[in-house]
Structure 1
Amino acid sequence: MINSQDFAKRLQKILDFYSISATAFSDKLNFNRSTISHLLSGRNKPSLEFILKVLHEFPEVELYWLVNGKGSFPATASNIEKAISPLAEENFKTQKELPLFAPSKAELAVNSTKSEIDRIVIFFKDGSFQSYE
């Protein structure tokens, strides 16, 4: 069971760590300011939705630390690495292998012919055209 007073202290640590106010925190999580105020005062206990939003928006916060006070905050690099799913790692690898600027198909076609441009003709919707040589 979550102790409201202890949870409020942990929540305040998060605000201090990120140097944000309760108002900015509530805006970032898209929660009412009164909800954050009640949590910080220890009046209310956090909902599952609130805890999940905190974990999503602030990756350094560990679930077990937030709920029970056990563990560390901010999360160490090794703990964050453990949280990355294998699917996310696979996505990262495939994105890493892509070239930053891949040549477009048009560039490939122009480069492969190695011929010079003789003229360019632009056709307008009204049926007229302009030729550049």
Structure 2
Amino acid sequence: MINSVEFTERLKKVMEHHQLSASTFADKVGVQRSSISHILSGRNKPSLDFILKVTSEFSDVDIHWLLNGKGNYPKIRNSGTTPPSSLFEDSNTVSGKKIQRIVVFYDDGTFDEYQK
């Protein structure tokens, strides 16, 4: 279950990091301004739809961190998030099979997926 007080603090951290007021944050995420006010005041708990809108709009917000504080904010990314295209070229095969995607799992529970 989400700890509302801690969730609110993490949400405020995102807003401060992006230098957004509550109303600007609401507009950017695509929710009513009153929704943000009610979540920040503790009156309402965030819906799954709200959480997904936040993580979709702000790529630096990890859903695990937002929900339960596990992980980092902003997301830690490797400097080279695009793998060399040669990994996907026809000549790269494993046991006669072509590579279609590569998934890298990080110790904080996040991952990056690379596709051709």
Which residue number corresponds to residue 107 of structure 1?
A: none
Aligned mates of 1:76, 1:86 — CA distance in 2: 17
CA displacement at 1:63 relative to structure 2: 0.7
TM-score scaled by length of structure 2: 0.69
Describe the superposition over 1:35-72 as per-residue Cα deviations: whole angstroms up to 9, x where unpaired.
00011112211111101111110001001100001111
SS in 2 for 1:85: strand
For the 8 Å contact 1:5–1:41, the answer to whether it is kept is no
What's the % identity of the aligned pairs? 49
Match of 2:24 in 1: 24
Superposed displacement of residue 3, structure 1? 1.0
CA distance in 1, matches of 2:27, 2:16: 16
Distance of 1:69 and 1:11 partners within structure 2: 11
* Count of residues paired in the alignment: 86
Matched-pair contact (CA < 8 Å) for 1:7–1:42: no
Shift of 1:86: 2.8
Alpha-carbon distance in 2 for matches of 1:84, 1:75: 11
- Per-residue deviation at 1:84? 3.9
8 Å Cα contact 1:62-1:72 kept in structure 2: yes
- Greater share of strand: 2
- Is residue 85 from structure 1 mapped to residue 113 from structure 2 by the alignment? yes
Q: Which residue of 2 aligns with 1:8?
A: 8
User: By percentage of residues, which structure has more helix?
Assistant: 1
Gap runs ≥5 in structure 1: 91-133
Q: Which has the larger radius of gyration?
A: 1
Match of 2:50 in 1: 50
Distance in 2, matches of 1:6 and 1:44, equals: 14
CA distance in 2, matches of 1:9, 1:65: 12
Distance 1:41 1:73 in 2: 22
Find the aligned partners of 1:44 and 1:70 in 2 and give their Cα distance: 22
TM-score calculated relative to the size of structure 1: 0.61
Write the letter of the residue equivalent to 2:114.
Answer: P
| Distance in 2 between residues matched to 1:34 and 1:11, nearest whole Å | 15
Alignment of 1:110-125 (within 5 A): none
More deviation in 55-64 or 39-48?
39-48
